[in-house]
Amino acid sequence: MSEAVNDVFRALADPSRRALLDALYKRNGQTLGELCDGMAMTRQAVTKHLALLEDANLVAVVWRGREKLHYLNPVPIHEISERWISKYERGRLSALSALKKALESDDDGE
């Protein structure tokens, strides 16, 4: 378990890998080629970063024929945030998120 948590933090520590996750957040299910197009990195570097993200279970893959599609998998991040952040901050964060919702719904009315 703690090994899995280490993998997540190690994977997230690198800005290139976070950029890959952001790209999948914008459009899920991309191929290696599609991910390379948007990045200022060599194909080799992207491949290496994706392998690390897969090992950390932050990217899930689905094969379609010979095409490998990459999906953002936020489940491990939820496991970490629920275990640590929520334990201490739940009350305050819920209050903040309720406030944010209330303020945003005011905006909608205008």
Give the residue carrying structure tokens 């993200």.
53
Radius of gyration of the chain (CA): 17
User: Looking at 5-13, 34-42, 43-51, 68-76, which segment touches other proteins (CB under 8 A)?
Assistant: 68-76
Helices (H) and strands (E) in the chain, counts: 6, 2
For residue 67, the cross-strand partners are 64
Rank residues 29 and 38 by Cβ distance to other proteins and give the closer one: 29
Pattern of binders to other proteins over 20-59, x per CB under 8 A? Answer: --------xx---------------------------x--
Q: Does 60 help bind other proteins (rule: CB under 8 A)? A: yes
Give the type of residue at 8: V
Q: Is 100 a binder of other proteins (CB under 8 A)?
A: no
Task: Give the whole-angstrom CA distance, residue 102 versus residue 106.
Answer: 6
Applying CB under 8 A, which part among 9-17, 32-40, 41-49, 71-79 lies near other proteins?
71-79
Spatial distance between the Cα atoms of 60 and 72, rounded to a whole number of angstroms: 6
- The contact set with other proteins (CB under 8 A) reads 4, 28-29, 57, 60-62, 64, 69, 71, 73-79, 82-83, 86, 90, 94, 101, 105, 108
